[in-house]
Amino acid sequence: MTLRIAVAGASGYAGGEVLRLLLNHPGVLDGSIEIGALTAGGSAGTTLAAHHPNLLPLADRVLGETSPETLAGHDVVFLGLPHGHSATLAEQLPPSTLIIDCGADFRLNDSTAWEKFYGSPHAGTWPYGMPELPGARDKLRSATRIAVPGCYPTGTSLALAPAVAAGIIEPRITIVAVTGASGAGRSLRTDLLGAEVMGSARAYGVGGVHRHTPEITQNLQALTKQPVSVSFTPILAPMARGILATCVAPTTATAAEARDIYLAAYADEPFVHVLPEGQLPQTSAVVGSNAVHLSVHVDASAGTLVVVSAIDNLTKGTAGGAIQSMNIALGLPETAGLSTVGLAP
């Protein structure tokens, strides 16, 4: 029996990346998975080639309107929609359809935090698509609704979870994360123009106001009884893809102790890789892949643990994490269609 997959928001970066990965998925290659409806908002009626000239095998596909009708009759529906659009749509699809939401609508447990950061009523909470967090993988098995984590929460939660869970840091955490411009989506904003972005680094969402802050805190708070505080600063760097996150917190552990905890925590994880000592993460090494590269350091003089992580924001940070969760929910091999080999240089 063939599984049919639809992608809503196929003209955006998240939708395009889901399709890029699906085209290399063994299920699509052997015909057991079929790429069905591709839909969009304002771009409905155009071909996919107009938005993603890299997706040659689907170049001539015409985008439909994003609606319950066009998405009906699919076993899996990926949503790459602006925040706030997923809830209404999801209600109109059958409960048995596996809906995988790349947006934020169903990520947060705390409706107060949701309303504070997103300014709209809270839609609810779905199983969270970060299988590497303690307990998360089980909740994804046979799930029919999945909330894909944000890109920053992916890179930073995986960088910090072992230390928080092991109690080797005081959970007053400082994070500075550098992202490529695709992290902002395909939004028409003057400050995202190439001429503005190239040759320049700039901060944004400084002072605890970035929407990913409560999501990071939620992920880490679940691992400890101590109150977690997160000071998070995102930086836009002149590159298309990638997140490099530097995560710092007070510790009294030694470098060897910290490293051992990370090696143990991720020993069985197919995508999270603690680099050999002396090697440091670089985003080019993970671009296009679902890999997470981590390095673990202790600054004995400052009394801090420093963990640096690199991910591709569109792959492991969005669409790759989404496919990984889909694989788990469908009972497929978790790594199907996902590579640990990045594109470099």
Task: Tell which positions 135-194 bind a second copy, by CB under 8 A.
Answer: 172, 174, 176, 178, 180-182, 184, 186, 188-190, 192-194
Give 126's contacts (C-beta < 8 A, 6+ positions apart).
101, 106, 107, 143, 145, 146, 147
Residue whose CB is less far from a second copy, 11 or 123: 11
In the complex, minimum distance from the CB of residue 88 to a second copy, in angstroms, rounded to a whole number: 26
The bridge status of strand 98-101 relative to strand 145-147 is parallel
Does the footprint of a second copy cover residue 115 (CB under 8 A)? no
Tell me which residue has tokens 């090696």.
263
Does the footprint of a second copy cover residue 212 (CB under 8 A)? no
In the complex, minimum distance from the CB of residue 32 to a second copy, in angstroms, rounded to a whole number: 16
Does the footprint of a second copy cover residue 342 (CB under 8 A)? yes
In the complex, minimum distance from the CB of residue 72 to a second copy, in angstroms, rounded to a whole number: 28
Nearest to 163 by CA among 39, 97, 259: 259
Does the footprint of a second copy cover residue 289 (CB under 8 A)? yes
d(CA 344, CA 283): 9
Query: For residue 132, what are the CA distances in angstroms to 108, 159, 230?
Result: 18, 11, 20
Q: Identify the H or E element spanning 68.
A: helix 68-71
Contact residue for a second copy among 3, 87, 165, 235 (CB under 8 A): 235
d(CA 75, CA 94): 10
Give 314's contacts (C-beta < 8 A, 6+ positions apart).
13, 14, 17, 151, 182, 241, 320
Identify which range of 1-9, 64-72, 160-168, 268-276 contacts a second copy by CB under 8 A.
Answer: 268-276
Q: Residues in contact with a second copy, total (CB under 8 A)?
A: 96
Residue whose CB is less far from a second copy, 83 or 297: 297
Does the footprint of a second copy cover residue 62 (CB under 8 A)? no
Tell me which residue has tokens 């605890």.
208
In the complex, minimum distance from the CB of residue 294 to a second copy, in angstroms, rounded to a whole number: 11
Does the footprint of a second copy cover residue 61 (CB under 8 A)? no
d(CA 241, CA 252): 35
Does the footprint of a second copy cover residue 73 (CB under 8 A)? no
Does the footprint of a second copy cover residue 318 (CB under 8 A)? no
The amino acid occupying position 87 is A
Does the footprint of a second copy cover residue 220 (CB under 8 A)? no
Contact residue for a second copy among 298, 311, 326, 328 (CB under 8 A): 298
Q: Which two tokens stand for residue 109?
A: 């447990």
